[in-house]
């Protein structure tokens, strides 16, 4: 019988887990321990509306202190979990205090990967609301913003900076933005979108050296070009926050390894969200994803499993990104495929691309095609083998394939 739950981390996964525990009638103790000084909040607007100054901090809130008070959830902010003691089902705080519970949930998310040698007053990373506040002050008409990394966050920052009147140069090591997720063909479509929107996108370029002088930043690229700007935003990926589990004996592999029930290798210890590498029955592999919808679904699944409901987490995965006036959406998970079938017009940034592997639909990526991506998500979940001609034909209704 579970009478107490401690959650390490107080981000989105933790917030959804706490809500689920209470909504499912759990009456025991719930304690969320978060390193940040802010109650759980949404991060997606940090590179979009919030960065643009269109939303306030209050708009971001996911779990208010008031809700926690009303629902008897203890929120301990500004507190770091130094160690997770798996065998004891306990956490050790930075001040040495040890707190035990019947179940632990590790929901510590991640932090931006640092770029060695790129350090200084003009360098920005983006993960927290404090990071966004700092970066917001740099985005102004006439400023030159250099973005290193054309992943989702780098691309969104580029888009917001451009809309804010800044000049934007993006330096990307790969030949195309987002190629590691979308592949070369769709990555090229994203490159075209960036360039058509006014970004000076330099692909196949690395950062060889970084320097600052007189309040300016200068990047020396691998090909020998010097790019001078006012600020450098580094968006080169995320590192999962697994350090508190070092030495715990809990299995780690670029994240905390969990099964489809969010269970780690230590009984009573669960992990979910950005930090967790979860076994996914649909894709028959362990994957770690860093997306809003997953953080919510996985946090919910962890809470249900803590309460003893055996619910496998089988979401086919879905995420969105808003950039350059377009809504990008992706459903499923594909790192290998043998065919991409396109419906719509790539050159007009109005299409959906279906990733097929041996005929099975594994993923779909679209620009301004949210409805079709939603249908594709259901098809991925059903391991559908759709007729490519039907996928391609704009006159067909994709829901007929369901
Ligand atoms: C700028 C930005 C834009 C994004 N945009 C999108 C988007 O458009 N679409 C989308 O699908 N997803 C987006 N995401 C991803 C999404 O926000 C994340 O997937 C989600 O926040 C993950 O939630 P989480 O709770 O697992 O981790 P986090 O949100 O990282 O929360 C973890 C919390 O744990 C705390 N913590 C870490 N270590 C400790 C410790 N030892 N002790 C105590 N506390 C600790 C951290 O400080 C943090 O507050 C975006 C993310 C960022 C940063």
CA 18 – CA 300 distance, rounded (Å): 8
pLDDT for 58 equals 85
Fold annotation for 114-234: FAD/NAD(P)-binding domain (3.50.50)
Which residue puts its alpha carbon closest to atom 30 of ligand 1? Answer: 109
- d(CA 162, ligand 1 centre) in Å: 25
Residues in the chain: 402
The span from the CA of 402 to the CA of 376, in Å, is: 9
Q: Which atom of ligand 1 is nearest to the CA of 12?
A: 25
Phi, psi of 292, deg, nearest 5: -55, -50
22: helix, strand or coil: helix
The alpha carbons of the chain give a radius of gyration, in whole angstroms, of: 22
Q: How confident is the model at residue 245 (pLDDT cuts 50, 70, 90)?
A: very high
Among the listed residues 164, 303, 284, 152, the one whose alpha carbon sits nearest the alpha carbon of residue 231: 164
Query: What separation in Å is there between the alpha carbon of 11 and the centre of ligand 1?
Result: 6
Calculate how far, in angstroms, residue 388's C-alpha sits from the geometric centre of ligand 1: 37
Q: Is residue 254 within 8 Å of residue 240, measured between CB atoms?
A: yes
Instruction: Specify the ligand 1 atom closest to the Cα of 40.
Output: 49
Burial of 388 (0-12, 13-18, 19+ CB in 10 A): middle
- pLDDT for position 402: 86
* CATH number for the domain running over 325-401: 3.30.390.30
What's the 279 CA to ligand 1 centre distance in angstroms? 20
Q: Say yes or no: domain 4-111+239-306 is CATH 3.40.50.10860.
A: no
DSSP 160: H
Q: In this structure, is the dihedral angle defined by the CA atoms of residues 38, 41, 47 and 53, taken in order, positive or negative?
A: negative
Give pLDDT tens digits for 11-38.
Answer: 999 999 999 999 999 999 999 999 999 9
Return d(Cα 174, Cα 200) in angstroms, integer: 15
Ligand 1 centre to CA of 274 (Å) is 7
* Nearest protein CA to atom 37 of ligand 1, as residue: 108
Q: What is the pLDDT of residues 322-371, one digit of tens each?
A: 999 999 999 999 989 999 999 999 999 999 999 999 999 999 999 999 99
d(CA 154, CA 196): 17
Residue 332 contacts residue 317 (beta carbons within 8 Å): yes
Ligand 1: residue whose CA is nearest its atom 6: 44
What percent of the chain lies above the pLDDT cut of 90? Answer: 97
Task: Count how many Cα atoms sit within 13 Å of the Cα of residue 380 in the half-sphere of its side chain.
Answer: 28
Same topology between domain 4-111+239-306 and domain 114-234: yes
> Measured between alpha carbons, how far is 276 from 261 in angstroms, rounded to an integer?
12
Q: Each residue of 175-214: pLDDT tens digit?
A: 999 999 999 999 999 999 999 999 999 999 999 999 999 9
CA–centroid distance, residue 178 to ligand 1 (Å): 20
Segments making up each domain of the chain, as ranges: 4-111+239-306, 114-234, 325-401
pTM of the model: 0.97
Most ligand 1 atoms within 8 A of CB, residue of 92, 241, 293 to mutate:
241
Q: Which atom of ligand 1 is nearest to the CA of 81?
A: 42
Does the structure show a pLDDT above 90 at 153?
Answer: yes
């Amino acid at each position: 019988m579970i009478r107490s739950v401690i959650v390490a981390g107080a981000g989105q996964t933790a917030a959804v887990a706490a809500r689920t525990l209470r909504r499912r009638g759990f009456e025991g103790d719930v304690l969320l321990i978060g390193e940040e000084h802010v109650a759980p909040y949404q991060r997606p607007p940090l590179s979009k509306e919030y960065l643009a100054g269109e939303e306030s901090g209050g708009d971001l809130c996911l779990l208010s202190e008031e809700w926690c008070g009303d629902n008897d959830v203890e929120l301990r902010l500004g507190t770091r979990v130094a160690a997770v003691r798996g065998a004891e089902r306990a956490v050790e705080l930075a001040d040495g205090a040890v707190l035990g519970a019947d179940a632990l949930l590790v929901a510590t998310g991640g932090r931006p990967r640092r770029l060695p040698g790129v350090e200084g007053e003009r360098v920005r990373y983006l993960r927290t609301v404090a990071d966004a506040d700092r970066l917001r002050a740099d985005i102004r008409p006439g400023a030159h913003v250099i973005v290193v990394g054309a992943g989702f966050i780098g691309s969104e920052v580029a888009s917001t900076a451009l809309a804010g009147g800044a000049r934007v140069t993006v330096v990307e090591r790969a030949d195309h933005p987002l190629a590691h997720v979308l592949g070369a063909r769709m990555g090229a479509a994203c490159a075209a979108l960036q360039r058509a929107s006014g970004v000076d996108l330099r692909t196949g370029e690395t950062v060889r050296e970084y320097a600052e002088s007189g309040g300016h930043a200068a990047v020396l690229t691998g090909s020998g070009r010097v790019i001078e700007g006012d600020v450098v935003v580094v968006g080169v990926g995320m590192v999962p926050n697994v350090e508190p589990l070092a030495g715990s004996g809990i299995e780690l592999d670029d994240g905390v390894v969990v099964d489809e029930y969010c269970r780690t290798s230590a009984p009573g210890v669960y992990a979910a969200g950005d930090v967790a590498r979860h076994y996914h029955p649909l894709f028959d592999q362990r994957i770690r994803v860093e997306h809003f919808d997953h953080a919510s679904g996985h946090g919910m699944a962890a809470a249900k499993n803590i309460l003893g409901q055996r619910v496998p987490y089988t979401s086919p995965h879905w995420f969105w990104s808003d950039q350059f006036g377009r809504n990008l959406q992706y459903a499923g998970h594909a790192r290998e495929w043998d065919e991409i079938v396109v419906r719509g017009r790539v050159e007009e940034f109005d299409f959906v691309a279906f990733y097929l592997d041996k005929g099975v639909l594994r993923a779909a990526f679209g620009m301004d095609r949210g409805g079709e991506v939603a249908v594709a998500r259901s098809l991925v979940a059903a391991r559908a083998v759709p007729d490519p001609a039907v996928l391609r034909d704009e006159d067909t209704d994709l829901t007929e394939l369901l």
